[in-house]
Chain A
Amino acid sequence: MAAVSSPLRVCRGILKELRALKGPEYKRTLAYNYVLDQFRKNQVSSERYCRAQKEALHSSQSYLCLLASSRCHVALHKLYHGKGERGPDEVADIVGLRLPTQPGGKGWEK
């Protein structure tokens, strides 16, 4: 049942995720070089069904899933759960009120 995508897709996916995470200097990260290296190494195999190749492909798919889902999770968190509380002046603004201002500062402020 394991629907495996091609190694090319997985490799490009991982590199895209790294670029999304790191920005323009993603090519200098450890992960970039390591991933490309591993994909190149596992390309050539004399066996018709190479178990090590399949295993490496599955691991790389897992890593792609890890990167992609972490990114989506953090994005959703920021979108829905990241706002925190509103300050008192915002809360007052919602119902159309304004907080009073004291020109001399409040009693406990310097």
Chain B
Amino acid sequence: MWRSLVRLQCQARVALSARYGRARLPVLWHAADLSIATSERKKFYQDVNISQREDGLFEINLDRRKLKTPGGKLFTVPNEALAVAVATEWDVQKDTLKFYTMNLTTLCNTALDNPTQRDKEQIIAAALKFLETDTIWYNVIIGSSSSIMGPQITEETKDTFRQHLGSYNFWALTGLEFVITQLKSLVLSFALVDRHLTVEQAVLLSRLEEEYQIQRWGNVEWAHDYDMYELRARTAAGTLFVHLSSESSSVKRKLLQD
């Protein structure tokens, strides 16, 4: 019950960032033959490439044109792995562009444009709202409750979480909030981002109640599996985004000691 309540609450936020990448992208494309905003766009390019600028940021090139965000900014990502992943998302499109499959692109757009003009504190506050309705059985330090109202979360606990969330940079925080919104649980999201769980395990735990009901009453492919795959895709995109936004790589060569 809690899950469905929270899901209703967050439908708007998810829809915003999903729709943002889907509907506005075609409108702001500066091409002469562009018609009105449709949710279906034909694939207008053949090749996708990435290029690195002098300041180290990577750009995506569709044929000869540079990719831009719906807000009109140049689409830049801080590292090569994310650039390759986004380029692949564009590369595998056939005939018509399906924006709902391009989760990483949407996340980058949200981080670059920040359409709702949120700063770090607001994102952290939004994420902390999930703490009270977290239905995962966690350690007594956070709290547990057998009544319908849920546990009382102390301010200390909230502050600890706030501090921990504050340690991520803005991009990673955008991704993390997305994962929390998808999984509806702070505990699971942290477990996933800290690599204690794989994406499939985290999604399974998030849908534990549904999985139990499925085992009891049967599976409906066009609803249960459909939702599960969508949740997996979004969570995987979110967690990949978080990891790629907070990594730094270096190559150390060591000589073998003979």
Contact = CB atoms under 8 A, between A and B. Distances in A.
Nearest to A20: B92
Interface of A: 1-4, 18, 21-22, 29-31, 34, 38, 41, 46, 54-55, 58-59, 61-63, 65-66, 69-70, 72-74, 76-77, 79-81
Given A29-B91, A72-B229, A76-B229, A2 B197 contact: yes
Contact of B101 (A34, A46, A70): A70
A72 B228 CA distance: 10
Given A21-B92, A29-B88, A55-B195, A34 B81 contact: yes
Nearest to A63: B240
24 contacts: A1-B197, A2-B201, A3-B198, A3-B201, A4-B198, A22-B92, A30-B91, A31-B84, A31-B85, A31-B87, A31-B91, A34-B80, A59-B243, A61-B198, A61-B199, A62-B236, A65-B232, A65-B233, A66-B103, A66-B233, A66-B236, A69-B230, A74-B98, A80-B222
Interface in B59-101: 80-81, 84-85, 87-88, 91-92, 98, 101
Given A4-B198, A29-B88, A30-B49, 15 more contacts: A1-B196, A2-B198, A31-B85, A34-B81, A54-B195, A55-B195, A55-B247, A59-B243, A62-B198, A65-B236, A66-B232, A66-B233, A70-B101, A73-B226, A80-B222
Interface string B224-241: 011001101100110110
Interface in B205-258: 221-222, 225-226, 229-230, 232-233, 236-237, 239-240, 243-244, 247, 251, 254
B233 A76 contact: no
A3 B193 CA distance: 15
Contacts of A3: 198, 201
B243 A62 contact: yes
Nearest to B199: A65
Contacts of B92: 21-22
Nearest to A38: B81
Select the residue from B48, B92, B196, B251 with max chain A CB neighbours within 10 A: B92
A9 B251 CA distance: 25
B233 A69 contact: yes
A105 to B, nearest CB: 29
Nearest to B247: A55
Given A22-B91, A54-B195, A77 B226 contact: yes
A69 B232 contact: yes
Given A59-B240, A63-B85, A69 B229 contact: yes
Nearest to B222: A80
Contacts of A34: 80-81, 84
Contacts of A69: 229-230, 232-233, 236
Contacts of B85: 31, 63
A31 B86 CA distance: 10
Nearest to A55: B195
B50 A30 contact: yes
A41 to B, nearest CB: 8
Contacts of B251: 41
Select the residue from A55, A73, A77, A79 with max chain B CB neighbours within 10 A: A73
